[in-house]
A and B are shown apart, each in its own frame.
Chain A
Amino acid sequence: QKEVEQDPGPLSVPEGAIVSLNCTYSNSAFQYFMWYRQYSRKGPELLMYTYSSGNKEDGRFTAQVDKSSKYISLFIRDSQPSDSATYLCAMGLVTGTASKLTFGTGTRLQVTL
């Protein structure tokens, strides 16, 4: 079993739709939960991060973490064609010298006009 599971998609939605992206994880020690956006042939760009269960909102984006269920989500409201990208969830822990992220495989999102 992978430490982080993410539906690879692709996910195609019309402009203006609400998008829900999800990841599950198995390591209850993870302390940081992050979402990255990666455009084709580019490096990942940090969208949101959180350390605790609950919701965190930033503009059209809401990150949700449920540590009891080991489940995180990213919601995108009023989706735009420019949101078309691959979205990667990532989880991290910092213990001793460890400071690395464990990524999901990414969900490819296409927002159509």
Chain B
Amino acid sequence: NAGVMQNPRHLVRRRGQEARLRCSPMKGHSHVYWYRQLPEEGLKFMVYLQKENIIDESGMPKERFSAEFPKEGPSILRIQQVVRGDSAAYFCASSPGQGQLSGYTFGSGTRLTVV
């Protein structure tokens, strides 16, 4: 039973390029969450999605960042025109349903470096 799969594990982008981070939730999980971890900081909530719906995007920067979880395929976190400050580890988590925080499982993350 594969866990939450994130790819790529490492991503290097030049300033101004686009970054696409992918997350496949655990089998049977229909809720996906994205978090960002900056150096020496805790994880910060970004967005919560269900299939084809954004439920809570209160943690997403207003510009350049978007997320989707299509009916088929993985969830995508997209960062346009990346800047150095976007360098961080981005973690995806999934859960079986809303409120089932005990089933919250994280992936190994994508480490984005902007040069």
Residues of A within 8 A of B (CB): 4, 6, 8, 32, 34, 36, 41-46, 49, 88, 90, 92, 94, 97-106
In angstroms, Cα B42 to Cα A34, docked, is 14
| Chain A residues with CB under 8 A of B4 | 43
How many B residues face the partner with a CB closer than 8 A?
A: 28
Given contacts A49-B101, A94-B98, contact A102 B45 (CB under 8 A): yes
Q: Looking at the complex, which one of B40, B48, B107 makes contact with A105 (CB distance below 8 Å)?
A: B40
Do the beta carbons of B101 and A45 come within 8 Å of each other? no
| Chain B residues with CB under 8 A of A103 | 35, 42-44
Question: What are 14 A-B interface contacts by the 8 Å CB criterion?
Answer: A6-B42, A32-B102, A44-B91, A46-B105, A49-B102, A97-B48, A97-B56, A99-B55, A99-B56, A101-B33, A101-B45, A101-B104, A103-B42, A103-B44
Nearest CB on A from B94, distance (A): 11
Residues of B within 8 A of A (CB): 4, 6, 31, 33, 35, 40-45, 48, 55-56, 59, 91, 95, 98-99, 101-102, 104-109, 111
| Chain A residues with CB under 8 A of B42 | 4, 6, 88, 103-106
Given contacts A46-B105, A92-B101, contact A100 B40 (CB under 8 A): no
Q: Looking at the complex, which one of A36, A45, A100, A106 makes contact with B59 (CB distance below 8 Å)?
A: A100
**Chain A binding surface, main DSSP class:** strand
Do the beta carbons of B109 and A43 come within 8 Å of each other? yes
Residue ID in chain B nearest A50 by CB atoms: B102
Residue ID in chain B nearest A90 by CB atoms: B43
In angstroms, Cα B38 to Cα A106, docked, is 12
In angstroms, Cα B6 to Cα A36, docked, is 19
Nearest CB on B from A64, distance (A): 18
Nearest CB on A from B114, distance (A): 18
Give the 7 A-B residue pairs with the shortest CB-CB distance, closest first: A103-B42, A43-B106, A94-B99, A100-B45, A105-B42, A103-B43, A43-B108
| Chain A residues with CB under 8 A of B41 | 105
